[in-house]
Amino acid sequence: MTDVDTTQYPVIKAENLKKYYPVSQEGFLKKPLSLKALDGASFTLNKGKTLAVVGESGCGKSTLARLITMIESPTEGNLHIGGINAVGNKKDKKILRRKVQIVFQDPYGSLNPRKKVGTILEEPLKINTDLNASQMREKALHIMDKVGLSKEQYNRYPHMFSGGQRQRIAVARALMLNPDIVVADEPVSALDVSVQAQTLNLLMDLQDEMNLAYLFISHDLSVVRLISDDIMVMYLGRPVEQGDKNVIFEKPLHPYTMALLAATPHVDVKSRQKRIRLSGELPSPLNPPPGCTFHRRCAYMTDICKHKPPHLREVANRMISCHNAEKLINNSH
Amino acid sequence: MTKLLEIENLSVEFDGFKAVDGVNLSVDEGKVVGIVGESGSGKSVTQLALMGLIPYPGIIKADRLMFHNSDLMALSAKKRRSITGKDVSMIFQEPMTSLNPCFTVEYQISEALKIHEGGTRQERRKRVIELLSQVGIPAPEDRLGTFPHQLSGGMSQRVMIAMAIACSPRLLIADEPTTALDVTIQAQILELIMDLQQKKNMALVLITHDMAVIAETVEDVVVMYAGQVVEKNSSDRIFTNPCHPYTEALLNALPERNINSKRLPTIPGLVPGKFDRPDGCLFHPRCKHAKKMCKEVVPKYSEKNSIGVRCHFPLINGVPQYD
């Protein structure tokens, strides 16, 4: 590992990340198509901050998570974690993998039912450190205490826990190696309202305490509004609008962001917005529409949208990829 | 207004565990009722009991279980089957798993038609095409032969809805119809369901755990906790002036109401399970307004001015009324 002072760099700096998957076609000699799961995402994430990635299923959120956690490597683009190049050198990667941990969506599927909580928590230590058994146990108990699990639960199996507690175990597992970054892939969407509140509180407390950076993937905009600092809205593999949470929530400019915000149901009448009807569904990423990928569902579509793909540019304190962004500023939405 | 569905004191027991405990519910013709509650609160089981879909160890008891002048408890199984699926039908959660992967869309929709309405195969096919276009599936003729795995989540849910409305039911039960879907698709599906409800003048029971969905769609709300109905109220009042402390606590825990705070208010503890059902009020260990009486005496469900609540000290403007 090169000697770099990691504190002065943003914990994640991603530039134009792309991930294409080959999809074989019917027919013997036909060339495989490439599915553009992620098609150019750039962002920086600083220590102790939260970046929320929002979008419908199939927009590339989870692919982004897999790239950041180095489960897969990008087809193109640069990824620096704590100032170190995370693409390429195997040795660097191994060290960086400790810095990035992940919490999965479904706490029923992400814990091995045959292992006790203690074993689950100690596994990352076994692989990455040379602590002895009692040190590992001590560390596991310490983290369990942090996430609000009691000592007696060390020897229990996952099936003995409720959904909320399982998610706590998953969070504890992610924290075992003192990471800088936790990628949370829809961590609360499988939970009930009251348990969701507890889990969100836990995540926010841990962030303050350990100065963690979160990459928070979610489709629930009310949760995102609560927990994030910056947000990135994605559509069909591309970020369409990204910037500070307050800027975007107060005045979304991209028609897709507007539609997402308007489609989110609200309990309080005053926070409800007029529904913007999005017709149709997400187009296939194998065969995206020409021009702006959103134009077929967009209410503000103009001729240029059909031919020319828009690029991310800065408009009104945010990055946005829409030809009509300037016009939409004055739109009384 | 005629009562379409009347449930009085319904209980469902599985091996000694009361999944549903003394539930009262009535639905008028053409009305929309929402049921909210966390997982395990018995909202789905109540409706499954109504449909006669409770599996083996489950025991259903009720003082009254009436659907449009027929007593569902007294009917023979055959008679009952002629009602369920025709006059009462249900949209299930998770469209991807509720459809049978082995059969085409046409087969699955026309199955209900064949049993309840008969007719020739051509007539049924025509009706299936009509239904598919009603639920907003483009080019329905081409979709007849598709299998569920070829459809997206939103499309499968539309097929489920087509199946449910095939025999023009008077009561439609939608059990978490949008939980597995994205927000934009959720909005489309809810709009479709409400639209069909209006057009066909069906009564609708919408079951969900999402308070916001309830707030935007229904007129009357029933809140369930641990198998009991704890509050019944109109949706205008329940979100501004909840009467039961559980409803209040649930609403307070929503991220939407705490946008600028660093902590969400939570409800301590867990929903009671089989072995830790408390005496007295089931909610008292988690209730911040609980008094000694709540620990000892089981509160009765009482209805006044069309507000029903199961609490010794119901809240008025957020303040419990200790006499």
Q: Is residue A165 part of a domain?
A: no
Which structural domain, as residue segments, surrounds residue B256? 245-320
Is B115 part of any domain?
yes
pLDDT, residue A92, reads: 86
CA distance A61 to A157: 31
Rounded Cα gap, residues B146 and B162, in angstroms = 15
Q: Is residue B276 part of a domain?
A: yes
CA B300 from centroid of its chain's CA atoms: 23
Which DSSP symbol is given to A268? S
Is A116 part of any domain?
A: no
What range defines the domain where residue A297 resides? Answer: 246-333
In a domain, B77, yes or no: no
Q: Which of B166, B193, B223 is the last residue of a domain?
A: B166
Q: What is the DSSP letter of A114?
A: T
Q: How many CB atoms lie within 10 A of CB A304?
A: 13
A264: nearest CB among B154, B183, B265: B183
- Give me the numbers of helices (H) and strands (E) for chain A, helices first please: 11, 12
Does B207 contact chain A (CB < 8 Å)? Answer: no
pTM score = 0.87
Q: What percentage of chain B reaches a pLDDT higher than 70?
A: 100
Q: Which residues of B touch A264 (CB under 8 A)?
A: 183, 212
Which DSSP state fits B99?
S
Number of domains composing chain B: 2
Asked if A57 and B153 come within 8 Å (Cβ–Cβ), the reply is yes
Closest chain A residue to B182 measured between Cα atoms?
A: A56
Residue B87 in domain? no
Angle at B314 between CA B311 and CA B317, to 5 degrees: 155
The segments of chain A whose pLDDT lies below 50 read 1-2, 333
A interface residues, B as partner, C-beta within 8 Å: 56-57, 162-164, 192-198, 200-201, 204-205, 219-223, 225-227, 259-260, 263-269, 271-272, 275, 277-278, 281
Q: How many Cα atoms within 13 Å fall on the side-chain side of residue A98?
A: 14
- Amino acid A6: pLDDT: 56
Residue B182 contacts A, CB cutoff 8 Å: yes
Which of B209, B254, B270 is nearest residue A162 as measured by Cβ atoms?
B270
- Over the stretch B77-95, which tens digit does the pLDDT of each residue have? 888 888 888 899 999 888 8
The reply to whether B186 touches chain A by the CB within 8 Å rule is yes
DSSP, collapsed to helix, strand or coil, labels residue B63 as: coil
Using a CB–CB cutoff of 8 Å, tell me whether B139 touches chain A. Answer: no
Give the amino acid at B217: T
Mutation choice for B interface testing from A57, A166, A226 by most B CBs within 10 A: A226
Token pair for A230: 């910056």
- For an interface test with B, give the residue of A105, A166, A193, A200 to mutate (most B CBs within 10 A): A193
Q: Is residue A167 included in any domain, yes or no?
A: no
Question: How does pLDDT run across B93-106, given as a tens digit for each residue?
Answer: 888 888 999 999 99
B175: which strand partners?
B207
- For the stretch B18-62, pLDDT in tens is 889 889 999 999 899 999 988 888 888 999 898 888 888 889 999
**Partner A contacted by B276 (CB < 8 A):** no
| Min distance B17 CA to chain A CA atoms (Å) | 18
Please report, as a single letter, which amino acid is at residue A305: C
Three-state DSSP state, A183: strand
Using a 10 angstrom Cβ sphere, with 0-12 exposed, 13-18 middle and 19 or more buried, the burial of residue B138 is: exposed
B217 part of a folded domain: no
Confidence of residue B2 (pLDDT cuts 50, 70, 90): confident
Within a domain: residue A261? yes
The pLDDT tens digits of the residues spanning B157-202 come to 999 999 999 999 999 999 988 887 888 888 888 999 999 999 999 9
Residue A55: CA count within 13 A, CB half-sphere: 25
Number of domains in chain A: 1
CA dist B207 and B273 (Å) reads 21
Which pLDDT belongs to residue A1? Answer: 46
Mean per-residue pLDDT for B215-241?
A: 91
d(CA B151, CA B138): 12
Taking only the tens place, the pLDDT of each residue in B248-272 is 999 999 988 888 788 889 888 888 8
A4 lies in some domain = no
Neighbours of B311 (CB within 10 A): 25
In a domain? residue A325? yes
What integer pLDDT is reported at residue A106 of this predicted model? Answer: 85
- What mean pLDDT value characterizes chain B? 89
Residue B110 in any domain: the answer is yes
Structure tokens at B12: 């469902």
Vertex A251 angle, CA A189 and A186, to 5°: 15
Per-residue model confidence (pLDDT) at position A5: 56
